[in-house]
Structure 1
Amino acid sequence: MHVLVVDDDVVSAEFLANTLIHFGYEVTVASNGREAFHLVRSGKYSMVISDWEMPEMNGPELCRQIRCRQWSGYIFFILITSYGAGHVVEGLKAGADDFLTKPFQPNELRVRLRTGERILSLQSRDVMLFTLAKLAESRDTDTGLHLERIREYCRILSEELSTWDKYRDLIDGDYVQLMYLTSPLHDIGKVGIPDSVLLKPGPLTKEEFEVMKRHVTIGGETLAAATKAHPDAKFLSMARDIAFTHHERYDGTGYPFGLQGKQIPLCGRLTALSDVYDALRSQRVYKPKFSHEKARQIILDGVGTQFDPDVVEAFLRREDDVVRIAESLDGSAADSNAQAEAAATSPEPVLV
């Protein structure tokens, strides 16, 4: 990460720059706010550390100028001051994110920088996840608001399980948020499926279904490569697990690995039920839209075979919330209930 240091005191600027270089950052030094603002406009810097008192343009004014502009990404701004709480309030009003008080310790600076890195990485994470999800959605014209509903179902189910004693140590608020963010990537591998199969206006042949099943490994392997490159990014490992395992079945007859029971990551088990429920409740080229009652019965019929019994129980406990999401994010309002009920006796469709 490239950090811009702004300080008119040569000794202070050099000490700060050397400390940052020791921590592994690239550093550029500006002697006043006006010079710094010109450098920020280059788009090279996502973190600025500025002294308060400087000629031409001081630290708070530099911060205000930065906040008044639209940038391609967020700029984390740390103000350095030797004054008290009154300056902190003024700095916050100017848009500063954090403060250092002179004289500061290098370890304190490092903590502030790590905070900035976390905030900047969250921004990058959310943008990347949204972009990848929309890429997958763009290949499949029949999904409507599928991704929006999937993430809401996953949020509801994971929130419910987080209240159970057996899951309290596994599912916290961060886990729920990651489920919400990463579940829309479950079908990212469909970008690698030929149009002749993915967009076929009718049931797939056995051979075509084998081709369609490859979306699981395409998506999983792509996200696995990203996870290997960034092993500390929890959202990538969860997205990988979801992509790989959302078509596994609790009894071990799913694909691609034939995992059984708790061998299937919890995120995959949650997404599996959410994905099937949404497919049942949506009109597709191979099936009409089913009523909630019909979809509910198919899920109950799959307890212990297709679905984790705990996830099904969570679904039943939060059934009203699930129905509310299905109705409020219904992308096929023109479908008639009569058409859905007419299919109630039809064989269970192949869901991919």
Structure 2
Amino acid sequence: MKILIADDDDLALEMLEHTLRRAGYEVETARNGREALARLKQVDAPRLVISDWEMPEMTGIELCAAIRSGGFDSYIYAILLTSHARPEEIVQGMSAGADDFVAKPFNTAELLVRIRAGARILSLETREMAIFALAKLAESRDPETGHHLERVQCYSRVLAQRLAEQACYHDEVDSELIHLIYLTSPLHDIGKVGIPDCVLRKPGRLNDDEFAIMKTHATLGAATLDAALIKFPDARFLTVARDIAASHHERWDGRGYPSGLKGKEIPLCGRIVALADVYDALTSRRCYKEAFTHTVAKSIIVGDSGSHFDPAVVEAFLAAEQDFLEIQKRFSVEAAEAAEKDILVGV
């Protein structure tokens, strides 16, 4: 496992690096929190950080807070190395996002045990890979979706992040909910595994009877996840996933399906994914239509504010417009083709 050490004390940095390398870890170093944060945003970054509390430019506390609000795709485990051991200081550190503490001067055995504990926590992220693999299985039956899951996942996260900035949602949308929406939004169409191929893969628009069958994917998905919730009732990520699957086709005005929920009767996670899903459908090519431009899609979404979409989510969309464009570009057909060419050239 790769570990990043952030400390402005050369001697402490050298001691930590030596200890961890002897224990078999790959080690990278940073001289302050800002340098560490920049490294964590790069490809193949470490997922476990040991940071000093007091550092120039960005302290360990500030680094932890930045990690928790930074929108990283994977969880980063943060250990603070500190002489601050009073209860109120531990509360401050944990509130900022630290996962664990090691007192200075550190005890080697204790440090390694705490690192192994962090590694066990990070291994739980295999849950996230399994969730995404399950979602991709459902998506694989629809040949036209491309990188639909990845785009909806990223669109949903930036919408949640923007909502968190709104005063009325500041207390409701925290970093945990943002991550859970990002994690589980790919399961929004999991119910499509129960839709017959003659409907799901029909080359063209559906007739009324076929559309009625297609609409059952929302209840099928919710029922599937409800079955998992019976076995694991305390798993919050399953609750969020179920709510998204069940409600991402509900409408703010109550004219959606499957339950005709209206306004804030619709779970917030469902209202967020509803906009992300529609935006991606509008800006993607289908056998029955060409892809709309961002400008056209934006006009449709703004026009449906208060009818199809929660006005607050539309406001978040407008605030995140540049983020949407960047995500769309990152997961475009052209980007995928370019990546494939790079792989072939490398081979």
TM-score, normalised to structure 1, is 0.63
Q: For residue 106 of structure 1, what is the aligned residue in structure 2?
A: none
Residue identity opposite 1:295 in structure 2: A
Please list every run of at least 4 consecutive aligned residues from structure 1 whose deviation after the TM superposition is greater than 2 angstroms.
63-67, 84-92, 95-99, 120-125, 331-334
Residue identity opposite 1:275 in structure 2: D
Residue identity opposite 2:189 in structure 1: D
Residues 30-83 of structure 1 show CA distances to partners (whole Å, capped at 9, x for unaligned) of xxxxxxxxxxxxxxxxxxxxxxxxxxxxxx9xx96999xxxxxxxxxxxxxxxx
Residues 156-185 of structure 1 show CA distances to partners (whole Å, capped at 9, x for unaligned) of 100001111211111111111111110011
Q: For residue 319 of structure 2, what is the aligned residue in structure 1?
A: 317
Q: For residue 270 of structure 1, what is the aligned residue in structure 2?
A: 272
Tell me the distance in 1 between the aligned counterparts of 2:156 and 2:196: 28
Tell me the distance in 2 between the aligned counterparts of 1:317 and 1:87: 45
Tell me the distance in 2 between the aligned counterparts of 1:127 and 1:145: 16
Residue identity opposite 1:89 in structure 2: T
Q: Is the 8 A contact 1:224 1:240 kept in 2?
A: yes
Tell me the distance in 2 between the aligned counterparts of 1:279 and 1:155: 17
- Is 1:88 matched with 2:114? no
Tell me the distance in 1 between the aligned counterparts of 2:24 and 2:261: 55
Residue identity opposite 2:218 in structure 1: V
Tell me the distance in 2 between the aligned counterparts of 1:116 and 1:245: 35
| % identical equivalent positions | 52
* CA distance 1:87–1:169, change in 2 (3 Å): closer
* CA distance 1:123–1:86, change in 2 (3 Å): same
1:291-330 correspondence runs (5 A): 291-330=293-332
Tell me the distance in 1 between the aligned counterparts of 2:317 and 2:215: 26
Which of 192, 195, 200 matches 1:193? 195
The structural deviation recorded for 1:138 is 1.3
Q: For residue 147 of structure 1, what is the aligned residue in structure 2?
A: 149
Q: For residue 260 of structure 2, what is the aligned residue in structure 1?
A: 258
* Root mean square deviation of aligned Cα: 2.7
Q: Is the 8 A contact 1:282 1:332 kept in 2?
A: no
The structural deviation recorded for 1:120 is 6.5
Q: For residue 159 of structure 1, what is the aligned residue in structure 2?
A: 161
**What is the DSSP-based 3-state SS (H/G/I as helix, E as strand, rest coil) of the residue aligned with 1:186?**
helix
The structural deviation recorded for 1:244 is 0.2
The structural deviation recorded for 1:145 is 0.6
Residue identity opposite 1:180 in structure 2: Y
* CA distance 1:282–1:332, change in 2 (3 Å): farther
Q: For residue 169 of structure 1, what is the aligned residue in structure 2?
A: 171
* CA distance 1:320–1:123, change in 2 (3 Å): closer
Tell me the distance in 1 between the aligned counterparts of 2:124 and 2:254: 36
The structural deviation recorded for 1:327 is 1.8
Q: For residue 248 of structure 1, what is the aligned residue in structure 2?
A: 250
**What is the DSSP-based 3-state SS (H/G/I as helix, E as strand, rest coil) of the residue aligned with 1:141?**
coil
Q: For residue 232 of structure 2, what is the aligned residue in structure 1?
A: 230
Tell me the distance in 2 between the aligned counterparts of 1:225 and 1:120: 26
- Is 1:217 matched with 2:190? no
The structural deviation recorded for 1:128 is 2.3
* CA distance 1:64–1:302, change in 2 (3 Å): same
Residues 192-215 of structure 1 show CA distances to partners (whole Å, capped at 9, x for unaligned) of 111111011111110000111111
Residue identity opposite 2:275 in structure 1: L
Residues 206-250 of structure 1 show CA distances to partners (whole Å, capped at 9, x for unaligned) of 000011111111111100111121111110000000000000000
* CA distance 1:124–1:333, change in 2 (3 Å): closer
Q: Is the 8 A contact 1:187 1:216 kept in 2?
A: yes
Residues 280-310 of structure 1 show CA distances to partners (whole Å, capped at 9, x for unaligned) of 0000112110011111111111111100000
Q: Is the 8 A contact 1:283 1:332 kept in 2?
A: no
The structural deviation recorded for 1:271 is 0.2
Structure 1, unpaired ranges of 5+: 1-59, 68-83, 100-111, 335-352
Tell me the distance in 2 between the aligned counterparts of 1:275 and 1:164: 22
Residue identity opposite 1:229 in structure 2: K
Residues 93-137 of structure 1 show CA distances to partners (whole Å, capped at 9, x for unaligned) of xx54469xxxxxxxxxxxx8xx887x2773242132122111112
Tell me the distance in 2 between the aligned counterparts of 1:85 and 1:320: 44
Which of 180, 183, 196 matches 2:182? 180
Structure 2, unpaired ranges of 5+: 1-18, 27-102, 337-347
Tell me the distance in 1 between the aligned counterparts of 2:106 and 2:213: 63
* CA distance 1:306–1:96, change in 2 (3 Å): same
The structural deviation recorded for 1:91 is 6.2
The structural deviation recorded for 1:85 is 7.4
Tell me the distance in 1 between the aligned counterparts of 2:104 and 2:293: 60
Residue identity opposite 1:199 in structure 2: R
